[in-house]
Structure 1
């Protein structure tokens, strides 16, 4: 009986750990390639209205980014706000140029071959 309780406790702990991992993991970033871009102008505003009247704004950017080897990649992505000019972004990409997420980074954090493209 004691072994049954230990086994049951182990299974419950494993399930809880699995749920915690699933809840905290961002699958939009997991296993993705990186490209880097500098925001130089405002995004194109896209306004949509939900059936309840709520207005949703997004801003679309289409510009050249650079992969970690310094090669050009044309990317198109959206943000929920107009991004800060001169900001550097690390884009999470799949299939070459499909952007799934992004993070703002500092110039010092850029790969050397990417820094050369922004000078």
Structure 2
């Protein structure tokens, strides 16, 4: 019985670890820091059921913690533009593009990336 329970626990742990790795590969990626300087391009998207949704598309220059530059394109999934002057940490995946973003404080941005963002 003890070996059986250990086996079940091992399967659960391995399964959980596998899910974490898969999530990282699909949704994870490299972090870039951006500053929102425009309202974005308004897009009206119609769902299959006919309901309309408003999104805002952004094309911005982001910088990683080493100051490496990358053009990033993503859609804000809300019915209003992102706040101008907001700083975002954007996760970029080679296969999926931008997979997530979150607003961060300027003090949370690595110094090299912050210098690049504030150069202009």
* Structure 2 gap ranges (5+): none
Task: Quote the Cα distance in structure 1 between the aligned partners of 2:64 and 2:116.
Answer: 10
1:91 positional shift:
1.0
TM-score by length of 1: 0.75
Aligned to 1:8: 4
Instruction: Identify the residue that residue 51 of structure 2 maps to in structure 1.
Output: 54
SS in 2 for 1:13: helix
TM-score scaled by length of structure 2: 0.74
Q: How many residues align?
A: 111
The answer on whether the counterparts of 2:63 and 2:117 sit within 8 Å (CA) in structure 1 is no
Segments ≥4 residues shifted beyond 3 Å: 11-23
Larger Rg: 1
Q: CA RMSD in A?
A: 2.6
> Paired residue for 2:108?
109
1:20 shift after superposition: 9.2
Mark the runs of 5 or more structure 1 residues left unpaired by the alignment.
none
CA distance in 1 between counterparts of 2:105 and 2:56 reads 22
Gap change, CA 1:6 and 1:106, over 3 Å in 2: same
Question: Which residue is 1:45 aligned to?
Answer: 42
- Work out whether residues 43 and 56 of structure 2, in 8 Å CA contact, stay in contact via their aligned partners in 1: yes
